Amino acid sequence: MEKMDLQIATERSISQKVAETLRKAIFRGDLKLGERLVEANVAKTLNVSITPVRQAFSQLATEGLIHVIPYKGTNVIQITETFIEEVYSIRISLELMAVELAFPRLTPADCDKLEVYAKNMDNLTQAGKFEEVAEIDIQFHGLFYERSEHALLLEIWNNLQSRIQLFQSYGRIHTHPVNKGVVENRHLKIVQAIRQGDLPRLLQTMKEHIEAGKLMVLNHYNRLV
């Protein structure tokens, strides 16, 4: 029994590594939007068996990064204007709820952490390390969901993260980097509203921040279609 449990754990670990490898390849643009994915080819490229690849495909499908059609095939998703609108409409509603729930629980230490995130994003943007910027941005916004103490809200956020990072990567690949200081300033305004105990301002600032992100992604999309 112990040997069986170990084998299951090992397969799960491998599938997680496969999923992370494919996820990063999609974010970097190494795997193109709409590109066909074949289990056998992925398994051969990564030198693993079919089983963890199949498990990784299932995970990425749950995250919304790939589209699996039984008996037909698997593709990296395509980005459409409707898809962008749907994701951001959900995100705005969820995030404002998370912010309102988290607000009375945010501590000075949380504010310090958020400010560090904001400044790190600015430094990394200037250094051209946009993949790391996207990862820290997820941590910044994720803190509100964690402090909301709403388990289902956090679960939905975890499933939404990959779509958000995909949009950030999509814009980075196809356009010039954001202007110096823009990332930091947007996030610092959020931190300032928290420090001042101004919930209405915080909600408005967060909403404007997310809507600005949506507009940027839509502009990128419309330049390409």
105 and 147 together in one domain: yes
Check residue 51 and give its pLDDT.
92
161 and 191 together in one domain: yes
Q: Which domain holds residue 175?
A: 81-224
**pLDDT tens digits, residue range 147-193?**
999 999 999 999 999 999 998 887 664 444 555 455 558 899 999 99
Do 92 and 164 meet the contact criterion of CB atoms below 8 Å apart? no
59 and 98 together in one domain: no
Total of domains in the chain: 2
Residue 10: pLDDT band (50, 70, 90) is: low
Check residue 171 and give its pLDDT.
64
CATH number at residue 152: 1.20.120.530
Check residue 129 and give its pLDDT.
85
Q: How far apart are CA 221 and CA 225, in angstroms?
A: 6
9 and 89 together in one domain: no
Boundary residue ending a domain (76, 97, 123): 76
Check residue 225 and give its pLDDT.
66
- 20-34, 83-97, 103-117, 211-225: least confident range: 211-225
Is the predicted pLDDT of residue 56 greater than 80, yes or no?
yes
Instruction: Name the residue with higher pLDDT: 172 or 41.
Output: 41
Q: CA neighbours within 13 Å on the CB side: how many for 188?
A: 10
Give pTM, 2 decimals.
0.85
116 and 192 together in one domain: yes
94 and 190 together in one domain: yes
Boundary residue ending a domain (49, 76, 103): 76
Check residue 172 and give its pLDDT.
62
**pLDDT tens digits, residue range 189-217?**
999 999 999 999 999 999 999 999 899 88
The arrangement of strands across the sheet holding 66-69 comes to 36-37, 73-76, 66-69
32 and 98 together in one domain: no
8 and 31 together in one domain: yes
- How many helices (DSSP H) and strands (DSSP E) are in the chain? 9, 3
Is the predicted pLDDT of residue 6 greater than 70, yes or no?
no
Do 37 and 75 meet the contact criterion of CB atoms below 8 Å apart? yes
The chain-wide mean pLDDT, for the chain, equals 88
Q: Is 17 exposed, middle or buried (0-12, 13-18, 19+ CB in 10 A)?
A: middle
96 and 206 together in one domain: yes
13 and 118 together in one domain: no
